[in-house]
Structure 1
């Protein structure tokens, strides 16, 4: 683990030097509140846990710590490579606040190294969609790529909006979009028109953003909530504005000096072309030895939140833990090998009835699916 973290951390100096040369600088009722933007949501824990310090800085936005802690556990669990354990929700990360989660669909795209699951959290009264981030053992290369990737693709039907081609395609041009859409539609049909929470970490958070936008357009903005962890920027200012309009119930968690939320880089002197975060950020960091969750302003680029960290202090290791929960792959072998091996094992277990369940679970692998009753 130490060797892996050192390898990850080694990416930061190269990124730091490049970005330093580019001179990046900060820009000057009774429905229960989830701790997203809207206080009218009908779902959530019965009461928020406010033991950690939460700094709102005059914002009307309220951060629900307990809800966020549950969602980060889903963002961590989707990294597990034992698909049989995910199927049965018995994996080592499938406990604590997520105990009792009902998996309704597991999605694996071996060719594109993508993995996700959909299910129902009865305590939250919500449908959960979790999408995994990069699993490759070359995170340092992925971070370096983020520095040089350019906005290339016009977003459909939105003048001047541009997005990161890779993140957009990873959701819209792969198995994920049809499989997740079908799984959510089926879950709402079986369990009622519950709200939808989409989550992901790192690249998974970027892909989850496009997923949340797609689901919000399909099922309504008030019904879709997004919470990501260590998410990179995904589009320009026009896209960020469009996204905030259609997915207002959004939280982007950032942690201490995590380098990834700073990528692709923000160029304050190119306001129309540069990548820009959409709101709302909640920054987890230490203040006088205490963990504080700072609710940032509605700009998406609050200079008093994670952007206040000087470029030389950006860290890759802070990217691997959020709210005390480890968020990284449990197997750092080549992604396709891991996914292929896990998918094959799950299919063998299903065929031999090793996995038993009294409910219906869809298993969608590559370009085909099997229905398991």
Structure 2
């Protein structure tokens, strides 16, 4: 049944890498405050999977939205204590999501109200972009309404797996639509979402200091995101971040935060360098993931 769960999470099975553990462990560690934020937004990424979640992490649920065509789903919540507007996107769950995941061709990034100017092509996963665009107008409109009432709040896009890819695309759209707002991005188990041009665009538009791409040596399946501890993981590799290979034209954007050993704590999470740090998740090679 594990291979079925692989399909349900991402939509395709990729041959396992021949690399075996143990791998050389990177040195590092992150501040407690950064770790706490990773934990916090892991919980938001879990909340969006729930059928009923009227107050995500005690915040105000502003609006939920779902596309009947693509099954893309998310919500906008407002946390008045932290002064944040959180836009969370759900990962793969239904048949429509499998079709989204399997549409792996790279196409130009085009989204309602967004025009990116670059000397190099900015291309993204077709399925992810179609999924985001199916709910983009609603999400942007809700955020705009909130920023009109709370102009000094930070906007945070977040999501797990497929939801992480959609959140990444959303963060670019949010940056273009709201140039004066602070936009941050927290994703968990995000697959490669676009090409080098897209990876560079994320860095240029958001700034690497505002991008937190959580990647875990072991997987954080949605039902385990808030079990015992949000960053605790199960006994297998999370292959989703590696499942779309660079040989297909894909490239991760910065900045990766890699939990490389148990137990999960600030000292076992590393802030990686650049887009594809060979000493972080890229070191485990391409493999399937039974999450």
Distance 1:154 1:211, change over 3 A: closer
Q: Which residue of 2 aligns with 1:254?
A: 215
- Deviation of 1:305 after TM superposition, in Å, equals 0.4
State the SS of the aligned residue for 1:254. Answer: strand
Which residue of 60, 67, 79 maps to 2:37?
Answer: 67
Cα distance in 1 for residues equivalent to 2:244 and 2:252: 10
1:157 aligns with 2:117: yes
Aligned length: 254
Structure 2 counterpart of 1:274, from 219, 240, 249: 249
> Does 2:164 correspond to 1:205?
yes
Partner of 1:179: 138
Secondary structure of the residue aligned to 2:42 is helix
Q: Cα gap change, 1:68/1:123 in structure 2, threshold over 3 Å: closer, same or farther?
A: farther
Gaps (5+ residues) in structure 2?
A: 20-25, 111-115, 218-236
> C-alpha root-mean-square deviation of aligned residues, in Å?
3.1
CA distance in 1, matches of 2:174, 2:97: 29
Q: Summarize the Cα distance change of 1:6–1:154 in structure 2 as closer, same or farther, 3 Å threshold.
A: closer
Alignment of 1:280-295 (within 5 A): 280-286=255-261, 292-295=268-271
TM-score by length of 2: 0.76
Q: How does 1:88-127 map to 2 (within 5 A)?
A: 88-89=54-55, 94=56, 98-99=57-58, 101-127=59-85
Rounded Cα–Cα distance in structure 2 between residues aligned with 1:154 and 1:227: 20
Q: Which has the larger radius of gyration?
A: 1
- Are the equivalent residues in 2 in contact too, given 1:226–1:251 (CA < 8 A)? yes
What is the TM-score of this pair, normalised by structure 1? 0.61
- SS, match of residue 128 in structure 2: helix
The corresponding residue for 1:229 is 188
Residue 9 of structure 1 and its aligned partner are, at CA, apart by: 4.8
Q: Partners in 2 of 1:10 and 1:105 — Cα distance?
A: 29
